[in-house]
Amino acid sequence: MKTRVTEMLGIRYPIFQGGMAWVAEHNLAAAVSEAGGLGLLGGASAPGEVVRDEIRKTRMLTDKPFGVNIMLMSPYADDVAKVVVEEGIKVVTTGAGNPGKYMEMWKNAGIKVIPVVASVALARLMERGGADAVVAEGTESGGHIGEATTMTLVPQVADAVSIPVIAAGGIADGRGIAASFMLGAEAVQIGTRFVVAKESIVHENYKQRIIKAKDIDSAVTGRSHGHPVRCLRNQMTREYNRLEAEGKSFEELEYLTLGTLRKAVVDGDVVHGTVMAGQIAGMIRKEQTCREMIEEMMAQAEKLLAGKETVR
Ligand code: TUI
Protein backbone atom coordinates (compact mmCIF):
# COMPACT_ATOMS: atom_id res chain seq x y z
CA MET A 1 0.00 0.00 0.00
CA LYS A 2 2.12 2.81 -1.32
CA THR A 3 0.76 6.28 -0.68
CA ARG A 4 2.16 9.80 -0.75
CA VAL A 5 2.82 9.37 2.97
CA THR A 6 4.81 6.12 2.72
CA GLU A 7 6.80 7.59 -0.18
CA MET A 8 7.49 10.91 1.54
CA LEU A 9 8.73 9.27 4.73
CA GLY A 10 10.34 6.14 3.32
CA ILE A 11 8.26 3.76 5.42
CA ARG A 12 6.86 0.37 4.41
CA TYR A 13 3.38 0.61 5.93
CA PRO A 14 1.05 3.64 6.21
CA ILE A 15 0.88 3.39 10.00
CA PHE A 16 2.06 6.01 12.52
CA GLN A 17 2.27 5.24 16.21
CA GLY A 18 0.79 8.08 18.25
CA GLY A 19 3.29 10.24 20.17
CA MET A 20 1.69 9.47 23.51
CA ALA A 21 2.92 11.20 26.67
CA TRP A 22 4.91 8.85 28.98
CA VAL A 23 4.15 5.90 26.66
CA ALA A 24 5.86 6.72 23.37
CA GLU A 25 9.48 6.27 24.46
CA HIS A 26 12.42 4.73 22.59
CA ASN A 27 11.50 1.06 22.97
CA LEU A 28 8.03 1.50 21.51
CA ALA A 29 9.00 3.95 18.77
CA ALA A 30 11.92 1.78 17.64
CA ALA A 31 9.74 -1.35 17.60
CA VAL A 32 7.11 0.31 15.41
CA SER A 33 9.73 1.67 13.02
CA GLU A 34 11.50 -1.71 12.86
CA ALA A 35 8.15 -3.28 11.96
CA GLY A 36 7.76 -0.90 9.02
CA GLY A 37 5.54 1.82 10.52
CA LEU A 38 6.54 5.27 11.73
CA GLY A 39 7.55 5.23 15.39
CA LEU A 40 7.14 8.55 17.17
CA LEU A 41 8.74 9.69 20.41
CA GLY A 42 6.32 11.64 22.57
CA GLY A 43 7.96 14.87 23.67
CA ALA A 44 5.01 15.41 26.06
CA SER A 45 6.10 17.74 28.90
CA ALA A 46 9.70 16.51 28.97
CA PRO A 47 12.68 18.91 28.85
CA GLY A 48 14.70 19.12 25.65
CA GLU A 49 17.62 17.12 27.04
CA VAL A 50 15.37 14.21 27.96
CA VAL A 51 14.01 14.15 24.41
CA ARG A 52 17.57 14.35 23.02
CA ASP A 53 18.52 11.32 25.08
CA GLU A 54 15.42 9.45 23.85
CA ILE A 55 16.30 10.28 20.23
CA ARG A 56 19.81 8.88 20.71
CA LYS A 57 18.49 5.73 22.41
CA THR A 58 16.04 5.17 19.55
CA ARG A 59 18.87 5.49 17.01
CA MET A 60 20.72 2.70 18.81
CA LEU A 61 17.72 0.41 18.28
CA THR A 62 16.77 1.22 14.70
CA ASP A 63 18.16 2.75 11.54
CA LYS A 64 14.66 3.12 10.10
CA PRO A 65 12.80 6.46 9.99
CA PHE A 66 11.15 7.67 13.19
CA GLY A 67 9.83 11.04 14.31
CA VAL A 68 9.19 13.18 17.36
CA ASN A 69 5.83 14.50 18.51
CA ILE A 70 5.95 17.94 20.10
CA MET A 71 3.19 18.68 22.59
CA LEU A 72 2.69 22.40 22.15
CA MET A 73 1.24 23.04 25.62
CA SER A 74 4.52 21.84 27.14
CA PRO A 75 6.58 24.48 28.95
CA TYR A 76 9.57 22.96 27.11
CA ALA A 77 8.07 23.10 23.61
CA ASP A 78 10.56 25.80 22.47
CA ASP A 79 13.46 23.68 23.72
CA VAL A 80 12.27 20.47 22.13
CA ALA A 81 11.56 22.33 18.87
CA LYS A 82 15.30 23.18 18.71
CA VAL A 83 16.51 19.77 19.84
CA VAL A 84 14.80 18.03 16.90
CA VAL A 85 16.69 20.32 14.52
CA GLU A 86 20.03 19.78 16.28
CA GLU A 87 19.55 16.02 16.27
CA GLY A 88 18.69 15.87 12.58
CA ILE A 89 15.18 14.48 13.06
CA LYS A 90 13.41 14.07 9.72
CA VAL A 91 9.73 14.04 10.78
CA VAL A 92 7.94 16.07 13.41
CA THR A 93 4.30 15.85 14.42
CA THR A 94 2.71 18.36 16.78
CA GLY A 95 -0.30 18.24 19.07
CA ALA A 96 -2.51 20.38 21.28
CA GLY A 97 -1.89 23.68 19.52
CA ASN A 98 -0.71 25.63 16.50
CA PRO A 99 2.96 25.03 15.58
CA GLY A 100 3.11 28.07 13.25
CA LYS A 101 5.98 29.79 15.05
CA TYR A 102 8.33 26.81 14.52
CA MET A 103 7.42 26.11 10.92
CA GLU A 104 10.13 28.19 9.26
CA MET A 105 12.91 26.78 11.45
CA TRP A 106 11.78 23.20 10.79
CA LYS A 107 11.28 23.67 7.05
CA ASN A 108 14.74 25.26 6.76
CA ALA A 109 16.16 22.17 8.47
CA GLY A 110 14.44 19.94 5.89
CA ILE A 111 12.07 18.42 8.45
CA LYS A 112 8.75 16.99 7.29
CA VAL A 113 6.17 18.73 9.46
CA ILE A 114 2.89 16.94 10.18
CA PRO A 115 0.63 18.81 12.63
CA VAL A 116 -2.21 17.01 14.36
CA VAL A 117 -5.42 18.94 13.78
CA ALA A 118 -8.95 18.55 15.07
CA SER A 119 -10.64 20.98 12.63
CA VAL A 120 -10.73 21.89 8.95
CA ALA A 121 -9.75 25.49 9.80
CA LEU A 122 -6.46 24.44 11.42
CA ALA A 123 -5.76 21.94 8.62
CA ARG A 124 -6.08 24.75 6.04
CA LEU A 125 -3.93 27.08 8.10
CA MET A 126 -1.25 24.41 8.43
CA GLU A 127 -1.22 23.73 4.69
CA ARG A 128 -0.79 27.45 3.99
CA GLY A 129 2.03 27.54 6.54
CA GLY A 130 3.96 24.81 4.72
CA ALA A 131 2.91 21.59 6.48
CA ASP A 132 3.78 18.44 4.53
CA ALA A 133 0.70 16.51 5.70
CA VAL A 134 -1.81 16.69 8.55
CA VAL A 135 -3.07 14.12 11.03
CA ALA A 136 -6.85 14.57 11.33
CA GLU A 137 -7.62 13.33 14.82
CA GLY A 138 -11.20 12.54 15.81
CA THR A 139 -12.71 12.79 19.26
CA GLU A 140 -12.60 8.99 19.64
CA SER A 141 -8.91 9.36 20.51
CA GLY A 142 -7.44 9.15 23.96
CA GLY A 143 -5.89 12.13 25.71
CA HIS A 144 -6.45 15.73 24.67
CA ILE A 145 -9.24 15.76 22.06
CA GLY A 146 -11.30 17.95 19.74
CA GLU A 147 -15.04 17.79 19.02
CA ALA A 148 -15.42 16.21 15.58
CA THR A 149 -15.52 12.46 15.05
CA THR A 150 -13.01 10.70 12.81
CA MET A 151 -15.85 9.75 10.41
CA THR A 152 -16.80 13.40 9.87
CA LEU A 153 -13.40 15.08 10.24
CA VAL A 154 -11.26 12.98 7.89
CA PRO A 155 -13.31 13.45 4.69
CA GLN A 156 -13.85 17.15 5.39
CA VAL A 157 -10.13 17.71 5.94
CA ALA A 158 -9.32 15.59 2.87
CA ASP A 159 -11.62 17.82 0.79
CA ALA A 160 -10.15 21.01 2.24
CA VAL A 161 -6.43 20.42 1.70
CA SER A 162 -4.29 18.93 -1.03
CA ILE A 163 -1.49 17.67 1.23
CA PRO A 164 -1.92 14.08 2.47
CA VAL A 165 -4.18 13.34 5.43
CA ILE A 166 -3.44 10.78 8.12
CA ALA A 167 -6.54 9.57 10.01
CA ALA A 168 -6.47 9.14 13.79
CA GLY A 169 -9.00 8.33 16.48
CA GLY A 170 -10.77 5.01 16.88
CA ILE A 171 -8.52 2.96 14.61
CA ALA A 172 -7.10 -0.33 15.90
CA ASP A 173 -7.50 -2.94 13.16
CA GLY A 174 -7.55 -3.48 9.41
CA ARG A 175 -11.19 -2.43 9.17
CA GLY A 176 -10.32 0.96 10.66
CA ILE A 177 -7.41 1.35 8.27
CA ALA A 178 -9.51 0.40 5.23
CA ALA A 179 -12.32 2.72 6.35
CA SER A 180 -9.83 5.58 6.81
CA PHE A 181 -8.60 5.09 3.26
CA MET A 182 -12.20 5.17 2.04
CA LEU A 183 -12.58 8.53 3.82
CA GLY A 184 -9.62 9.96 1.94
CA ALA A 185 -6.72 9.26 4.31
CA GLU A 186 -3.34 8.04 3.01
CA ALA A 187 -2.15 6.67 6.35
CA VAL A 188 -3.44 6.17 9.86
CA GLN A 189 -2.16 6.96 13.33
CA ILE A 190 -2.77 4.40 16.06
CA GLY A 191 -2.31 5.03 19.76
CA THR A 192 -4.31 2.88 22.15
CA ARG A 193 -3.49 -0.47 20.53
CA PHE A 194 0.24 0.22 20.76
CA VAL A 195 -0.09 0.99 24.49
CA VAL A 196 -0.56 -2.76 25.03
CA ALA A 197 2.30 -3.80 22.74
CA LYS A 198 4.84 -6.22 24.22
CA GLU A 199 7.54 -3.59 23.66
CA SER A 200 5.51 -0.93 25.48
CA ILE A 201 6.98 -0.06 28.90
CA VAL A 202 3.54 0.88 30.28
CA HIS A 203 2.63 -0.72 33.63
CA GLU A 204 0.81 -4.05 33.34
CA ASN A 205 -2.18 -2.66 35.31
CA TYR A 206 -2.68 0.01 32.62
CA LYS A 207 -2.44 -2.56 29.83
CA GLN A 208 -4.97 -4.78 31.60
CA ARG A 209 -7.42 -1.86 31.99
CA ILE A 210 -7.29 -1.38 28.21
CA ILE A 211 -7.56 -5.11 27.48
CA LYS A 212 -10.58 -5.45 29.81
CA ALA A 213 -12.24 -2.19 28.73
CA LYS A 214 -15.70 -2.28 27.15
CA ASP A 215 -17.00 -0.02 24.38
CA ILE A 216 -18.38 2.71 26.66
CA ASP A 217 -15.72 2.66 29.37
CA SER A 218 -14.07 5.99 28.55
CA ALA A 219 -15.01 9.37 29.98
CA VAL A 220 -14.06 12.92 29.07
CA THR A 221 -12.88 15.24 31.81
CA GLY A 222 -12.55 19.00 31.50
CA ARG A 223 -15.00 19.56 28.64
CA SER A 224 -16.53 22.63 30.28
CA HIS A 225 -13.04 24.00 30.94
CA GLY A 226 -12.02 23.82 27.28
CA HIS A 227 -9.47 21.08 28.14
CA PRO A 228 -11.24 17.87 27.17
CA VAL A 229 -9.21 14.76 27.94
CA ARG A 230 -10.44 11.21 27.26
CA CYS A 231 -9.45 8.46 29.65
CA LEU A 232 -10.85 5.25 31.04
CA ARG A 233 -13.44 5.80 33.76
CA ASN A 234 -12.18 5.39 37.32
CA GLN A 235 -12.27 7.10 40.72
CA MET A 236 -10.33 10.06 39.29
CA THR A 237 -12.70 10.71 36.36
CA ARG A 238 -15.79 10.27 38.58
CA GLU A 239 -14.49 12.78 41.11
CA TYR A 240 -13.37 15.18 38.38
CA ASN A 241 -16.69 15.08 36.57
CA ARG A 242 -18.71 15.42 39.79
CA LEU A 243 -16.74 18.50 40.85
CA GLU A 244 -16.73 19.88 37.29
CA ALA A 245 -20.54 19.61 37.23
CA GLU A 246 -20.62 21.53 40.53
CA GLY A 247 -18.81 24.35 38.75
CA LYS A 248 -15.27 23.89 40.12
CA SER A 249 -12.65 25.57 37.92
CA PHE A 250 -9.83 23.99 35.94
CA GLU A 251 -7.33 25.32 38.47
CA GLU A 252 -9.28 23.96 41.43
CA LEU A 253 -9.31 20.49 39.87
CA GLU A 254 -5.71 20.45 38.74
CA TYR A 255 -4.77 18.40 41.80
CA LEU A 256 -6.67 15.49 40.19
CA THR A 257 -4.69 15.56 36.94
CA LEU A 258 -1.20 16.84 37.75
CA GLY A 259 1.26 13.99 37.61
CA THR A 260 -1.52 11.45 37.42
CA LEU A 261 -0.71 10.17 33.92
CA ARG A 262 2.71 9.20 35.22
CA LYS A 263 1.06 7.63 38.26
CA ALA A 264 -0.97 5.34 35.98
CA VAL A 265 1.66 4.61 33.32
CA VAL A 266 4.70 4.19 35.58
CA ASP A 267 3.30 3.23 38.99
CA GLY A 268 0.27 1.30 37.72
CA ASP A 269 -2.22 3.24 39.86
CA VAL A 270 -5.26 2.88 37.60
CA VAL A 271 -7.68 3.96 40.37
CA HIS A 272 -6.38 7.49 41.07
CA GLY A 273 -4.24 7.86 37.96
CA THR A 274 -5.18 9.15 34.50
CA VAL A 275 -5.63 6.16 32.18
CA MET A 276 -5.70 7.91 28.81
CA ALA A 277 -7.13 5.67 26.08
CA GLY A 278 -9.36 6.00 23.04
CA GLN A 279 -12.89 4.67 22.58
CA ILE A 280 -11.52 1.73 20.61
CA ALA A 281 -10.00 0.29 23.83
CA GLY A 282 -13.08 -1.97 23.99
CA MET A 283 -11.90 -3.82 20.88
CA ILE A 284 -8.33 -4.38 22.04
CA ARG A 285 -7.96 -7.88 23.39
CA LYS A 286 -4.34 -8.86 23.76
CA GLU A 287 -0.72 -7.94 24.13
CA GLN A 288 1.24 -8.60 20.91
CA THR A 289 4.50 -7.37 19.47
CA CYS A 290 4.32 -4.25 17.31
CA ARG A 291 5.25 -6.39 14.32
CA GLU A 292 2.38 -8.83 14.97
CA MET A 293 -0.07 -5.95 15.32
CA ILE A 294 1.08 -4.16 12.19
CA GLU A 295 1.22 -7.25 9.99
CA GLU A 296 -2.19 -8.45 11.17
CA MET A 297 -3.78 -5.04 10.56
CA MET A 298 -2.17 -4.56 7.16
CA ALA A 299 -3.13 -8.04 5.92
CA GLN A 300 -6.75 -7.37 6.88
CA ALA A 301 -6.78 -3.85 5.41
CA GLU A 302 -5.27 -4.99 2.13
CA LYS A 303 -7.86 -7.76 1.71
CA LEU A 304 -10.71 -5.41 2.51
CA LEU A 305 -9.50 -2.71 0.15
CA ALA A 306 -9.12 -5.29 -2.61
CA GLY A 307 -12.73 -6.35 -1.97
CA LYS A 308 -11.62 -9.87 -1.08
CA GLU A 309 -12.97 -10.13 2.44
CA THR A 310 -16.13 -9.27 4.28
CA VAL A 311 -15.80 -7.20 7.38
CA ARG A 312 -15.99 -9.95 10.05
O1 TUI B 1 -2.32 16.37 21.60
C2 TUI B 1 -3.05 15.43 21.47
N3 TUI B 1 -3.32 14.56 22.46
C4 TUI B 1 -2.77 14.63 23.71
S5 TUI B 1 -1.66 15.76 24.25
C6 TUI B 1 -1.64 15.08 25.75
S7 TUI B 1 -0.66 15.68 27.04
C8 TUI B 1 -1.82 16.26 28.09
N9 TUI B 1 -1.76 15.79 29.32
C10 TUI B 1 -2.64 16.20 30.22
C11 TUI B 1 -3.64 17.09 29.89
C12 TUI B 1 -3.72 17.56 28.63
C13 TUI B 1 -2.81 17.13 27.69
C14 TUI B 1 -2.47 14.02 25.79
N15 TUI B 1 -3.07 13.78 24.63
N16 TUI B 1 -3.66 15.19 20.30
C17 TUI B 1 -3.51 16.06 19.20
C18 TUI B 1 -4.58 17.07 19.22
N19 TUI B 1 -4.39 18.32 18.99
N20 TUI B 1 -5.87 16.84 19.50
C21 TUI B 1 -6.51 18.03 19.41
C22 TUI B 1 -5.55 18.96 19.10
C23 TUI B 1 -5.71 20.35 18.90
C24 TUI B 1 -6.71 21.06 19.57
C25 TUI B 1 -6.82 22.42 19.39
C26 TUI B 1 -4.82 21.04 18.08
C27 TUI B 1 -4.93 22.38 17.92
C28 TUI B 1 -5.92 23.08 18.58
O29 TUI B 1 -6.05 24.42 18.46
C30 TUI B 1 -5.04 25.10 17.80
C31 TUI B 1 -5.10 26.56 18.02
O32 TUI B 1 -5.70 27.21 17.17
O33 TUI B 1 -4.53 26.99 19.03
- Whole-prediction pTM: 0.97
Segment 33-39 shows an average pLDDT of 98
pLDDT bracket for residue 312 (50, 70, 90)? low
Burial class of residue 93, CB neighbours in 10 A (0-12, 13-18, 19+): buried
- Ligand 1 within 6 A of CB of 95: yes
Give tens-digit pLDDT for 112-132.
Answer: 999 999 999 999 999 999 999
For residue 125, give the ligand 1 atom closest to its CA: 32
pLDDT bracket for residue 31 (50, 70, 90)? very high
Q: Is the pLDDT of residue 35 over 80?
A: yes
- The DSSP code for 268 is -
- Ligand 1 within 6 A of CB of 222: no
Q: Give the domains, in start order, of the chain with CATH numbers.
A: 4-201+286-305 (3.20.20.70), 214-276 (no CATH)
- Ligand 1 within 6 A of CB of 229: yes
Question: What is the 116 CA–ligand 1 centroid distance (Å)?
Answer: 8
pLDDT of 1 reads: 87
Question: What is the 306 CA–ligand 1 centroid distance (Å)?
Answer: 35
